[in-house]
Structure formats: structure tokens, C-alpha cells
Structure 1
């Protein structure tokens, strides 16, 4: 495998870190572009990854960013940038503007390849961050730099919020009957390996690549079944109507024109409703339905195994807690 210099933006995030590890493991020269100085622990983590070089840059300053990327002269840029909140302002600043500035800098530096970590949910855009991601995807596709756009399905982390509550005997919360949505979740490690593989795969160039973990697709009710089985608890579900989020969004939107707080809260309610009602699978353009069969799979890590590790790490495995 040819060793190349790769610049990773968003390298301090959960996915960015494991992507850096995977690329270093493949023998590439990795430069981590950070927006702020890492803590001592974080900095030590980067050095432990095999001496990854760290560069600081203001992604909102196009000229300074251009100079930084030009000095690095990467063959490839990998962007794991993503807005943390999904609010309209944050989405515009990070999902679109920061990535756009990075792309312009990459073009100026003569970078050959730009890989973007996007999201599968942009197939049916209804939210501010989805529109921001799509706007940048379009810009990247139209750029002279070769592109790869990776759209993962759900992450293990996003499906782990109820592990502790179920282990402690609380009900598993469902939207509707728990079968409204399905996904093929992928682990951070498997996603990082997939991204690393794109570096040397000519078939990945100028492609939009949806990717999930090992199937079959799983519903929220199925996630609950996994947890009840692992913890030895009797199945106990509580249903929340997704319409509640829509109603909350409508009420909060009334204050959006005069208050950023109301605008953000309204968007959060819309985000909650979206994920309660939309599957994270490939959308069949002919039928308009989500397709498990059309959603590619990669890796070997399973949600079952992930839940087992969480329960063991927290001392919550079956038989360790009383009611």
C-alpha cells in the first residue's frame, strides 16, 4: 500500500480519532487538524497513535486555513467535521461553511482526494443540518478534487442511551410500537476501517457510498429485546407518540422569529421526530421506501457485542443489580 500524507479534520471527535488510528495503522502519514488546543490527556492520545502530527487552524478563517493546508500539502483530506447540536446556526457554520473553507484550502494546496464523512439521513432532508450537509456535498462533487462521500447508518453510540436504564429495571422507551424504523448500525472501528480502505480503492473515487454494519436491520423494539436478554430482565416497554415532537416543534416555532433559543429548541424537536419516524437505511428512489437489502454491510462488530461490553464495563451485566 502506498504511503500518503493525509490531513484529518475533526480528528478530536469520536470517529475522527479511530479514523486516525486506522490510517496510521495502514502506514500513512497522518496530520490531525484541530480547532483548539487539546487537553494534556487528548494530546497524549494523539502521540500514542504513532506520532500523529497536530496542527491548529481556525476553520472559519479561509485565508489562514488555506495557508495551513498549503504548508501541510496533503495528498488526501478526510473531513469528519459535524455540528454537535444540529441547530441551524451550528449546522451552517460547521456542516457547510467549515467544510467549504477546507475544500477551498485543499484545492489551493493541490490535494488529489477529499473524503467526506456525511450521513445517510440526508437522503430525505427535513432538517437544517441535513440541508447544510447536502449543500456541501454538492459543492464537493462539483470540485475538481476527486471526492468520496461516505454516508454511514446509525452509530452504536446513538443506540446506547438506554443500556443503563434497562439494566436498572426501567422500561425501554419506544416511539409508537417500536417498529417504525430500522437501521444497520456500524461500529466506530468498522467505519474507520471502511474509510481507510477508501484511500487505496480507485472504485471509491467520485462515489457516494452508503454503509452499514452487519445485518440484519434492527428496529428499536429489537434493540430492547437484545438488552432484556443480556440483562435477564423481563421485557418492559413504554411507548411515546412521535406526534408529541411535532406538536412541540410547532409550539416552539412560534417564538423562533424573535428568539434563537426558541429556534434551536424547535429544531431539536424536529430532529427527535425525524429519528423517531425515519429509518437509517438506503432509500429506494423507485419505491420511496427504505431498503434493508440495498443497504451495504461492512465489518464484523455487532450491536449485541457492543451492548455486552457496555454492560460488563459498567458492572451492569445480568445478575449484578437488584430491583
Structure 2
């Protein structure tokens, strides 16, 4: 599906301060596209170096008029949305994963955009959480809008598997859930995902499709991630097991106060999110078996988790 012959287009990238958004902007600029990076007003203090070559525009995701002005000025051929709710809490998910994307879609269509590329998530195929339902609601809205679209559902990102690098380097045990074999994923790097997204522009092979995508295999478990880190760090393997049932207990306890306080309801959702990622694989669900399938999960790119871990450990 690699497509390198797309002529230069005018493209708006929303969520451009995130690591994926930055990688997408870099890829598009390198490919010769005219890029407008849509940033939230609160991102004014962020390092914009990674966005070099792009026009910067600021608009709150909740400000329909401000987004419409950005679209009107940019006159995009294509909009790429890399936005996502930061917390996953119900209100945040409704406002960002659904509401803000609707604003992007409506204003982009009004400005004459012909294509909308959405960065979604592979976990929406088994929706148990508020943010997953919000993402699916927008996916349905996008599919019914009449605009040409592509929905990209990546597996785990390298960044999401890097939280324990400092622990291992400091000589601490690697935390696993259960025996560490409850889940598997095919993580993909920011740059490989950006190349995949860029290849969807004006690509008839990806038009009006939902595309799950992972990085180079094989699928890796949490235990194997830890073993890989210890190997690269040159340290003896040490694990500490945490039971996923802890999240069940936390959800039940917090759920008792959900009817009286939004704070308790939000924290109960965080417990559900934690349990989900501790027990569900980020792979394609096999419709025949109902189980996760590494074989059915497409692979793309060349960046490996091993190289990513080695780089993080070397950088300190």
C-alpha cells in the first residue's frame, strides 16, 4: 500500500503536538505537502521544532468557530486527525474523541476538504470503555458523512511500552500482570505509523476502509517485553507480578460513590481502563474464534522495539 507518487496536497493535521502528530507532520513536510499543524492554545509553550516546515495554527478543540477559521485559511484537501482524549474519562472522551472530531469533520467539509484520515485505536473492536464508544460513534459519523475517509487503528505504540525503562535501568523489577502472558501486541513506531498514514492520502486502496495495523512481528507479551529490556540493559531478569483483580476491587469500591460524586465515577473508569489494558491484547479479533489473532494483525514498517529500547537505555 506504500504510495510515494501523491502530488503535493494542502493538509491540516490536528493533534500535532503529540508524538504521533509530530511524526505525521514531519513525514508530510518531507513528502512536499503544504501542512498546517492545528495546535491547542495551551500548547503555545511546547517545543515546535519537530513541526518545522509546517504552518502553525492555534484553536481550542471546543471552539467550532476558531477551527472553522483555520480550515478556511488552510483550504485543505485532506484533514488528518491524531487527537485523542488525554484521560479517557467519559466527559473528556465525549468532548474530544467524538465532539472535537465532529467539529474537524464539519469545518473541513465546509472548507472543501475531500478526504479525512482518522487515527483511531485497535481496542475499539472490543468496546468496554467510554472513550472506545466515543471513538466508534465518530467512526460511524465519519463513514456516513459522504467524505472520502480512511480509519487507521494501530496496535500499541512504542511510547506506551516504554514506561518501565527507568525502572529496569535503576535495578528495579519489571511489573507484570499475572504471569505476564495475558496480553500480546505488535507495537509500531511513530515514524512507521506516520509513513502508513501518509500513504493513505489519495490512495484508492485505502479509501473508505478501516485499517488495523501493527509493527514488525512477532507479537510480544508483557513478560517478553521485560525480558527484552533486561537483556539489552545487561541486567538479571526480575519480575514483580500484580493481579489484575486489584483493578476489579478498585472499580467496585469507587463505584459505590459514583452516584454521589463525579470524582468517584471518573476514578472508577480509570480502574476499568487499567484492567482493560492489563487483560486485553492489542491485536485483531478473529471473527470466527472471538479470540485475538497475531496472524490476522497486519505488520508494517521496519523499526523494532529492540532498537527503540536500546536507544532509550543509551540516552539515559
What is the TM-score normalised by the length of structure 2?
0.95
Q: Does 1:247 align with 2:252?
A: no
Give the 3-state SS of the residue equivalent to 1:78 in structure 2.
strand
Correspondence for 1:318: none
Structure 1 residues 99-108 or 66-75, which shifts more? 66-75
Equivalent residue for 2:18?
13
RMSD: 1.3
Match of 2:33 among 5, 14, 28: 28
Task: Give a deviation string over 1:194-230, Cα, whole Å, max 9, x none.
Answer: 1111114211110100000000000001001101111
**Hey, which bits of structure 1, 4+ residues long, moved more than 2 A?**
37-46, 61-68
Aligned length: 311
Of 215, 218, 221, which aligns to 1:216? 218
Q: Aligned partners of 2:255 and 2:42: how far apart in 1? A: 37
The CA distance in 2 between the partners of 1:125 and 1:144, in whole Å, is: 25
2:308 aligns with one of 302, 306, 309? 306
Query: 1:26-105 counterparts in 2 under 5 A?
Result: 26-36=31-41, 38-39=43-44, 42-46=47-51, 49-50=52-53, 52-105=54-107
Q: Please, which runs of 5 or more residues in structure 2 have no aligned partner?
A: 1-5
Q: Report the CA distance shift for 1:58/1:40 in structure 2 as closer, same or farther (over 3 A).
A: closer
Q: CA deviation at 1:171?
A: 1.0
In structure 2, how many angstroms separate the alpha carbons of the residues matched to 1:228 and 1:149? 36
Taking the aligned partners of 1:238 and 1:126, their CA distance within structure 2 comes to 27
Which among 149, 152, 155 is matched to residue 151 of structure 2? 149
What CA deviation, in whole Å up to 9, does each residue of 1:118-142 have, x standing for no partner?
0000000001100100000000011
Give matches, 1:197-216, under 5 Å.
Answer: 197-216=199-218
Name the structure 2 match of 1:319.
none
Aligned-pair distance for 1:178?
A: 0.5
Alpha-carbon distance in structure 2 between the residues aligned to 1:38 and 1:174? 34
Mapped partners of 1:230, 1:59: distance in 2:
41
1:163 matched residue in structure 2: 165
Bigger Cα displacement from structure 2, 230-239 vs 26-35: 230-239
Aligned 8 A contact 2:94 2:131 in 1: yes
- Residues 237-258 of structure 1, C-alpha deviations (whole Å, 9 max, x = no match): 1111101101101110111122
Unmatched 5+ stretches in structure 1: 315-323
- Tell me which of 228, 231, 237 is aligned to 2:230: 228
- Among candidates 252, 259, 265, match of residue 267 of structure 2: 265
> Do the aligned partners of residues 199 and 304 (structure 1) sit closer, same or farther apart at CA in structure 2, a change above 3 Å counting?
same
How many angstroms does 1:40 deviate by? 5.6
| Deviation larger for 166-175 or 140-149 | 166-175
Q: 1:258 aligns to what SS in structure 2?
A: coil
Structure 1 partner of 2:3: none
Q: Which residue matches 2:142?
A: 140
Shift of 1:39: 3.8
